[in-house]
Each structure stands twice: as C-alpha cells, then as structure tokens.
Amino acid sequence: MTQGFDTLQVHAGAAPDPATGARQVPIYQTTSYVFRDADHAARLFGLQEVGYIYSRLTNPTVSALADRIAALEGGVGAVCCSSGHAAQIMALFPLMGPGLNIVASTRLYGGTITQFSHTIRRFGWSARFVDFDDEAAVAAAIDDDTRAVFCESISNPGGYVTDLPAIAAIAQKAGIPLIVDNTLASPYLCRPIEHGATLVVHSTTKYLTGNGTVTGGAIVDAGSFDWSASGKFPSLSAPEPAYHGLTFHEALGGMAFTFHSIAVGLRDLGMTMNPQAAHYTLMGIETLSLRMQKHVANAKAVADWLEKDPRVDYVTYAGLPSSPWHDRVARICPKGAGALFTFAVKGGYEACVKLVDALQLFSHVANLGDTRSLVIHSASTTHRQLTPEQQEAAGAGPNVVRLSIGIEDVADLIADLDQALAAATA
C-alpha cells in the first residue's frame, strides 16, 4: 500500500524493536555485532547476506534513518554519513578518478564551491562552474571526462530554484548522473528524483533534523541509472579489486551505488554517522512536514514585508511574484519556495554588519534550517573564502544578508527586523 508523506516521515524505516518492543528506534550504541557462526560472518563480508558487521559500515539506528530518508525522497536506497560535506564526497567517490571533472552550478553554498574548487583537486578531480540558467553553457561544459552534473534544488544563500527537469535532460543526453543537493528544500518541498535526478544529497544537519543539535549527511540513489552503459564508471561496472573482484552493478543492480558506498566508501573513507545523531534526526523528521509548512508561511510573510521596505534594495525569495524564478516554484517546489533567502540593505557592507549586530530574536550563527530564525552576513563568513566575483555569482555580495526563517510568531520576526533596519540605516 502506498503511504503518504506524513505517514512515511513517522513510520518509514522503523518498527517496534524485536528484542524489547520499544516503539521509538533505539540508539544502538555499539561498535560491533556478534556473528552467528563463521559461515554467517563470511556471508556478510562477501555481501551475500545483509546484516551488521561493524558500525563504521552499518548500524541499526543509522540504517533506520537511511531507509526513512530514501522513502521520503522516493529512492531505492540511502547512505548516511557524518556531514553534508561528507555526503558530497561520498556521492562523487564511486564516479570519479584522477583527471575527471564535474560540471557544477555557480549558485552553490560557499563551502561547496571551495570544496569543489580546491579540495577535490587533491584527488585529481576538478569542477567547472556554470550558470545553470544558461542551458547551452551547461551542455557545452560537459566533455568526455565529465562524470556528474551537480546543483542545488534551492540554492544557498539566495533561494534560487534550479530548473531540474531541464538540467536532468542535459545530463541524461550526456549519459552522466545528475546529483542534486536537496538540503534547503527537503523532500517535503521537492523530490529531485521525480525531476530526473540520479542521486540526492542532504546535509541532514539542517531541515531534516530541524533543531540545530547534530551534524549529518545522506546520499539517496534513484536506482535507475545504468552504470554499465558507457564504461565511464568502472567502480560500479567493472570488478572491484578492493572487494574480491565483485562487480557491483552486475551483482546488485539498482542497489549497486548504495552498497558500494557502504562496502567501499564508508569502509575506506570512514565518514560515519554516529547512532545518537541518527536518533536525533529520526525524531526531527517526524515533524518535517509540519515545520516546513510554518517555515514557508513565515518566509513568505517576512519576504513580502522586506520587499516593501524602503530601507531594502531587493529580496531574492523565489516565492515572491517579482522573483525571476517564481514560475519554477509551482513546477519544482509546489509546496513552497523554502525559508532561506537574502536581502540587500541600503548602505552596503557596513549597514549589513550593523543590522546583524542589532538583531535580537534572530540568532547570528553559521547554520540554517533550525526552528529558530537565523541570520548571517555571507560575504564576511560562509562565503568569505570566495573571490568578489564568485560571491556575486553565488548571490552573496557584500550588501547582502542571509535569513533562515524559523517557526516563531511572524509578527515578532518582522518587529525584530524593523528595529534592526532602523539601527543599520540611521
């Protein structure tokens, strides 16, 4: 029986504990698991039987979370890891090799741009950044060494909405996977797999957990990509020398990417999610749809108020009719444009700094997706490592403040912004 989103966010991946009858998923705080006998151990290590070996690879609490996220995204499987940045490396790991590249949107979180511009070069990988509104440029940037196309469903910090079906068509024509970071939308607002994505990544730290307590990441596989079609993905389509010569795609079909990410990725990279973090995120997801409805309603009201304020130059929220991306919201994010956006303060950099310091209800933190409303000046913090040109391309110019709208009383949020704008532009 097909179940609705609100049911899945509570029940998917979970059942009463068989040992105790516990209704909530227990925190399995253990490093290792006793094998029934030598043959059982051998079958687990040979991927002939699914089970638990060692918590760097799999853990029952973490597995419950992975199953729940996969169900909400409409994927065949998922892997949880230690952070959103870890999820990005984990997503690329089976696809890449020295000399290979990805094509990525210019509108990405500043830390992701840095990871793709500098850190992945240490593996011999590279990234080509393109404006994803220019579909011809995206297609032109793909060459024989490209192994993935990467974007965000809703971008950080500007709240830009990517035309996922158009980008998916380009990736599909090139025979390469589309990886979509769905952190800002959450699967409640957007399900990228339905728009053609191959893999979906999350920083579970944000809206999925929703309470600012733990870090985590996840990779969800659509299970539909033919890893053996082109010979471009030997980690999945050829015998894996680091795993007894097993050919993952041949042996595991649609689950090849998920099993490879556990058996090789988590085994060797060790980017493991701890079970307590998984427990907090499982509890957070139970109220995801309720929180996202309130986040979106508040964001709409705050963005509309800011756009009308003479102390503000512009607001980037895609939920506003004035946004150039407003028409995409109904197609890509039919339940709303999220709750993260920027606005430009008249007075530039100095006015932004004054505004941040004057806010009282908004918390000044380097995070988003919390129940609390958050603020940050991206140009001097999260996007500080970028060039001025990269900052502008990412929507994080010096005159811009980023808001993550929480679930408080919206009148209180507007009152706080009003007094802070007065202080910033006096």
pLDDT digits (tens, 9 = 90+) for 243-301: 888 999 999 999 999 999 999 999 999 999 999 999 999 999 999 999 999 999 999 99
Has residue 73 been placed in a domain?
yes
- Clarify whether residues 220 and 251 are in a common domain: yes
Range of the domain at 370: 288-424
Among the ranges given (78-87, 187-196, 352-361, 371-380), the one the predictor scored with the smallest mean pLDDT? 371-380
- Clarify whether residues 272 and 363 are in a common domain: no
pLDDT higher than threshold 70 for residue 383: no
CA 104/CA 142 separation, integer angstroms: 10
Has residue 121 been placed in a domain?
no
The enclosing domain of 237 has a CATH number of: 3.40.640.10
Has residue 157 been placed in a domain?
no
- Clarify whether residues 14 and 89 are in a common domain: yes
Number of domains in the chain: 2
Supply the DSSP symbol for 213. Answer: -
Using the 3D structure, point to which of 283, 302, 335 is the last residue of a domain. Answer: 283
- Clarify whether residues 221 and 352 are in a common domain: no
Using the 3D structure, point to which of 232, 256, 283 is the last residue of a domain. Answer: 283
Give the relative orientation of helices 288-307 and 410-424 as an angle to the nearest 10 degrees: 40
Among the ranges given (140-154, 182-196, 396-410), the one the predictor scored with the smallest mean pLDDT? 396-410
Confidence of residue 14 (pLDDT cuts 50, 70, 90): very high
- Clarify whether residues 320 and 305 are in a common domain: yes
- Clarify whether residues 321 and 363 are in a common domain: yes
- Clarify whether residues 256 and 305 are in a common domain: no
Confidence of residue 392 (pLDDT cuts 50, 70, 90): confident
Using the 3D structure, point to which of 283, 310, 335 is the last residue of a domain. Answer: 283
- Clarify whether residues 384 and 255 are in a common domain: no
CA 349/CA 347 separation, integer angstroms: 7
* pLDDT the model gives residue 46: 85
Confidence of residue 380 (pLDDT cuts 50, 70, 90): confident
Has residue 162 been placed in a domain?
no
Q: Where are the beta strands (DSSP E) in 59-190?
A: 77-81, 101-105, 126-130, 146-152, 178-181
* pLDDT the model gives residue 242: 80
- Clarify whether residues 194 and 47 are in a common domain: yes
